[in-house]
């Protein structure tokens, strides 16, 4: 239903008059694309609106802790853009990205064991833009990708906006990556049914939403599968540097370079979780032929990423202080993660079907409840008790499961984590009583 959104200006009189009374109804619906008709507002977004409530403790967002932002160092770096060639920093730039920034990114990759040059890099307006470029370049309507079941919501939205489909693969009970046997079976069945499958999307380091980290063996096995089936692997690594416990595992990009070096891995990186998200600054690493395709796609999307910010971040990186920001962030989140695990242990009811992941890094953990409890329905009860989470159902493309939730531990204070988990445990206890398992 349409209603006038603004009074009409009567230009000659220079005053505002109310428009005529009859209601005009533009038929926008007849103009929308299939994409637009399919678009659903993010469930997270809609639920988050409910969390703007005084006194509510939210584990729902994915915000980094602002106390980790190196404000003064960033301030000095930003100012340098105005004193060193501002006519470059304020002007249009190339689609590929600022050369000074790319030079710093090459060094960051080298420090992670990945050998790339500037031609392997495309600067993006953070990782979500990369997630939008990929289906534009690889998916025709009805094409498939392989991804976790569950997987990152922003990926589901991007794939849906190109009318792509997701073949979901469950995680192994060992929590060391996909159930690869199940992946092979589902893949074979889809191929046999004539489906066109283009790439495998994984977040091997502390997946969003589960927090699961892939083992070395599973990374290698996934790579061999991709070699055999001529599939690309999209390795999304926003949290890779935020490891609390366990030992460093090479990225799949590095493993490809060490194994057959086929250049079939596309790495997605961002400063959102290791520096600041407000700069919207990320990068793709890939084979130069793929980078060239991504450049053409990106050109029609935004011409180039914010030039000022590219040079600002390059100035900051040149100080060498990123490492200490990451160390600081890691210590901060490690303490909060340990504390949230302790509080869950202390307050959650003991039940064979209540368990949660113990992430070795990242920002999130995944809490599973008995099948008899629906976390979508439980959400309003949690809000009533002043605690919020993200419903697990938001992270499934299909075969949606409803008995889980994502909890963020990076943003809240320890005091809020303690109180929030107490409240959540109380809500779960109420649900257990109300919905005894059959």
Question: Contact between 199 and its own copies (CB under 8 A)?
Answer: yes
Cβ-in-10-Å burial (0-12, 13-18, 19+) of 131 comes to buried
Q: 275 to each of 39, 219, 325, how far by Cα in Å?
A: 31, 27, 7
Binding part of the chain for its own copies, among 126-134, 165-173, 376-384, 415-423 by CB under 8 A, reads 126-134
Residue 345 Cβ, how far from its own copies at the closest point, in Å? Answer: 30
Of residues 6-45, which lie at the interface with its own copies (CB under 8 A)? 6-11, 16, 19-20, 24, 26-28, 30-36, 39-42, 45
Residue 420 Cβ, how far from its own copies at the closest point, in Å? Answer: 20
Question: Contact between 299 and its own copies (CB under 8 A)?
Answer: yes
Indicate the residue among 135 and 148 with the shorter CB distance to its own copies: 135
407 phi, psi to nearest 5 deg = -115, 130
211 phi, psi to nearest 5 deg = 80, 0
Q: What is the CA radius of gyration of the chain?
A: 24
Give the one residue of 56, 105, 126, 421 binding its own copies; rule: CB under 8 A: 126
Of residues 276-295, which lie at the interface with its own copies (CB under 8 A)? 276-280, 287-290, 293
Task: Provide the 10 A C-beta neighbour count for residue 33.
Answer: 10
CA–CA dist 409, 343 (Å, integer):
12
Of residues 362-391, which lie at the interface with its own copies (CB under 8 A)? none
Binding part of the chain for its own copies, among 206-214, 261-269, 329-337, 389-397 by CB under 8 A, reads 261-269
Tell me how many degrees the CA angle 264-251-206 measures, rounded to the nearest 5. Answer: 120
- Chain centroid to Cα 304, Å, comes to 22
Indicate the residue among 5 and 399 with the shorter CB distance to its own copies: 5
Question: Contact between 434 and its own copies (CB under 8 A)?
Answer: no
Cβ pair 16, 9 in contact under 8 A: yes
Residue 330 Cβ, how far from its own copies at the closest point, in Å? Answer: 19
Residue 265 Cβ, how far from its own copies at the closest point, in Å? Answer: 10
Listed in order, strand segments (DSSP E) in 187-326 are 197-202, 232-236, 265-270, 282-285
* Among candidate residues 267, 303, 271, the one with its CA nearest the CA of residue 286: 267
- Token couple for 162: 């190109």
Question: Contact between 194 and its own copies (CB under 8 A)?
Answer: no
Q: At what angle do helices 375-384 and 43-50 cross, to 10 degrees?
A: 20
Residue 10 Cβ, how far from its own copies at the closest point, in Å? Answer: 7
Identify the bridge partners of residue 407 per DSSP, sorted by sequence position.
365
Indicate the residue among 325 and 424 with the shorter CB distance to its own copies: 325
- Token couple for 27: 């038929």
Indicate the residue among 272 and 368 with the shorter CB distance to its own copies: 272
Q: How many positions of this chain bind its own copies (CB under 8 A)?
A: 113
Residue 398 Cβ, how far from its own copies at the closest point, in Å? Answer: 18
Residue 127 Cβ, how far from its own copies at the closest point, in Å? Answer: 9
Question: Contact between 46 and its own copies (CB under 8 A)?
Answer: no
Cβ pair 47, 60 in contact under 8 A: yes
Of residues 318-347, which lie at the interface with its own copies (CB under 8 A)? none
Question: Contact between 66 and its own copies (CB under 8 A)?
Answer: yes
Listed in order, strand segments (DSSP E) in 153-196 are 165-169
- Token couple for 297: 């796609």
Question: Contact between 125 and its own copies (CB under 8 A)?
Answer: yes
Residue 106 Cβ, how far from its own copies at the closest point, in Å? Answer: 11
- Token couple for 365: 């953990």
Of residues 240-259, which lie at the interface with its own copies (CB under 8 A)? 250, 254, 257-258
Binding part of the chain for its own copies, among 154-162, 320-328, 350-358, 428-436 by CB under 8 A, reads 154-162
Identify the bridge partners of residue 284 per DSSP, sorted by sequence position.
122, 268
């Amino acid at each position: 239903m349409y209603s006038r959104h603004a009074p009409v200006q009567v230009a000659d009189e220079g005053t505002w008059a109310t428009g005529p009374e009859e209601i005009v109804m533009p038929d926008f619906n007849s103009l929308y694309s299939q994409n637009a008709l399919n678009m659903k507002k993010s469930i997270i977004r809609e639920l988050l609106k409910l969390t703007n409530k005084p006194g509510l403790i939210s584990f729902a967002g994915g915000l980094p802790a602002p106390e980790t932002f190196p404000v003064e160092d960033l301030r000095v770096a930003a100012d340098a853009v105005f004193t060193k060639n501002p006519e470059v920093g304020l002007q249009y730039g190339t689609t590929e990205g600022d050369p000074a920034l790319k030079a710093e990114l090459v060094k960051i990759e080298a420090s992670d064991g990945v050998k790339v040059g500037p031609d392997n890099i495309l600067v993006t307006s953070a990782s979500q833009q990369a997630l939008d470029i990929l289906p534009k370049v690889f998916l025709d309507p009805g094409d498939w990708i392989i991804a976790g079941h569950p997987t990152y919501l922003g990926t589901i939205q991007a794939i849906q906006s190109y009318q792509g489909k997701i073949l979901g693969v469950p995680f192994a009970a060992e929590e060391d990556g996909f159930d690869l046997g199940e992946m092979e079976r589902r893949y074979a069945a889809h191929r046999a049914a004539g489906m066109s499958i283009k790439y495998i999307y994984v977040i091997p380091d502390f997946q969003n939403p589960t927090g699961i980290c892939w083992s070395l063996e599973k990374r290698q096995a996934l790579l061999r599968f991709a070699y055999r089936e001529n599939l690309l692997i999209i390795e999304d690594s926003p949290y890779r540097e935020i490891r609390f416990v366990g030992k460093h595992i090479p990225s799949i990009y590095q493993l490809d370079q060490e194994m057959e070096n086929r250049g079939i891995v596309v790495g997605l990186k961002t400063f959102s979780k290791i520096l600041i998200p407000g700069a919207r600054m990320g990068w793709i690493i890939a084979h130069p032929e793929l980078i060239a395709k991504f450049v053409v796609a990106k050109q029609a999307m935004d011409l180039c990423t914010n030039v000022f910010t590219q040079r600002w971040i390059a100035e900051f990186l040149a100080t060498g202080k990123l490492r200490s920001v990451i160390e600081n962030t890691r210590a901060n989140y490690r303490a909060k993660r340990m504390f949230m695990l302790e509080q869950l242990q202390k307050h959650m009811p003991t039940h064979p079907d209540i368990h949660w992941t113990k992430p070795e890094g990242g920002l999130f953990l995944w809490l599973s409840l008995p099948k008899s409890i629906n976390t979508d329905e439980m959400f309003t009860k949690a809000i009533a008790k002043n605690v919020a989470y993200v419903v697990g159902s938001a992270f499934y493309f299909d075969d949606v499961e409803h008995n889980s939730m994502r909890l963020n531990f990076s943003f809240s204070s320890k005091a809020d984590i303690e109180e929030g988990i107490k409240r959540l445990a109380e809500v779960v206890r109420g649900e257990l009583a109300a919905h005894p398992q059959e």
